[in-house]
Amino acid sequence: MNVLAALRECARSLYPSSIAAACLNAFRFRGIRIARGAGVAVRGTFEYGEGCSIGAGSNIFVPERALLSLGKNCYVGRYVELGSGGRIRIGDHTSLQDRCIILGDVTVGRYCSLAPNVYISSGRHNFDLVPQALIKDQDRLVRASADLATTQNKPVLVEDDCWLGINVAVMPGLIIGKGAVVGANSVVTKDVAPYGIVAGVPAKLVKRRLDFLPPRHISHRTAADLPYFYAGFESSREYLDKNAAADGLVAEGVFVLSLNASEGGSLHLMIKHLAPGNSTLICANQRLSIHDQFQEVIFDLDRSSVDTSRIQLRAEPSTSRFAVAEAWIG
């Protein structure tokens, strides 16, 4: 792909010898395990949480003004290629197995498993801008124009708890919904619904993990409600046990709830801040103070500005942690 070629050209000018690179990586990127033989070329921003590792032979490219963000306990296997043309975000506890390639503007959520040889890119070769011109010349035309580069770039989103099988390719501009499974050797050309299981070329729905039907009320105590604590929650069995004393599902920074808000105009939360003192929670341009004891808070939902099937909430400061016991539509 043209994005890959541009990033490789950038990397060639940045990489020192392998021994020097290993020493430089250990000095520059403390707290992340980078195997000898991995290349890390960073001119932009490289963020990572605790417990991350990058395998031997992997190539990480972050040009100027680009971002690569790895969440906590991310595993990047051997000979993986991560080339951020804008922003690549990989969520907590997600694994990228050997030879995965992720390029451009791509977000992969928490608890995802990408098998070997998965390919995801927000860009493509250009063959139809000037049809009579060589494809390589059309690619150069796009790279030379900021406006064209923006319009031709189509970000990809893989939501939490997805499993992409070996040799899967995901086309630009798609959303793979939470909990989806993509069968081996599939080419994904359309959005995948939450908890859908797709396979084939092009990938088509073959069954569902569960019927995803957002209810009006969810509780952390009801196992069937856990899928609707949609994103940003520490929802693995390990963390459910670890956070049992919090008496709610724990989230940090930004989190998303999926509820049936077809009737009713307000979001109600039973929530507390998991530290002494208060923090601010923001939803639909409303700001509410959350203290360290459970309280009911209410946000008005403006259907003209809020996706009422996926309700995003954001904390200030972004490191604030909350326990959410219940959520419902009023």
Asked if 187 and 299 sit in the same domain, the reply is: no
Asked if 203 and 226 sit in the same domain, the reply is: no
pLDDT over 80 at 6, yes or no:
no
Closest CA to 253 of 66, 157, 68, 110: 110
Instruction: Write out pLDDT tens, residues 145-181.
Output: 878 877 778 999 999 999 999 999 999 999 999 999 9
93: left (phi over 0), alpha (psi -120 to 50) or beta: left
The token pair that represents 163 in the structure block:
């499993």
Among 93, 125, 217, 220, the active-site one is 125
Asked if 187 and 282 sit in the same domain, the reply is: no
Asked if 19 and 97 sit in the same domain, the reply is: yes
pLDDT over 60 at 18, yes or no:
no
Specify the CATH number for the domain of residue 103.
2.160.10.10
pLDDT at 219: 98
pLDDT band at 60; cut points 50, 70, 90: very high
Tokens 């700001």 — which residue? 287
- How many separate domains does the chain show? 2
pLDDT at 263: 82
Asked if 164 and 184 sit in the same domain, the reply is: yes
Q: Does the pTM exceed 0.85?
A: yes
pLDDT over 90 at 15, yes or no:
no
Instruction: Write out pLDDT tens, residues 202-251.
Output: 999 999 999 999 999 999 999 999 999 999 999 999 999 999 999 999 99
Asked if 124 and 249 sit in the same domain, the reply is: no
pLDDT at 13: 52
Q: Is 268 a catalytic residue?
A: no
Question: What range defines the domain where residue 103 resides?
Answer: 2-207
Mean pLDDT of 310-314: 94
Asked if 32 and 151 sit in the same domain, the reply is: yes
Asked if 39 and 172 sit in the same domain, the reply is: yes
pLDDT at 145: 83
Q: Domain boundary residue among 207, 230, 250?
A: 207
Residue 212 lies in a domain: no
pLDDT at 124: 84
Specify the CATH number for the domain of residue 245.
2.60.120
pLDDT at 308: 62
pLDDT at 70: 97
pLDDT over 90 at 293, yes or no:
yes
Residue 33 lies in a domain: yes
Asked if 178 and 53 sit in the same domain, the reply is: yes
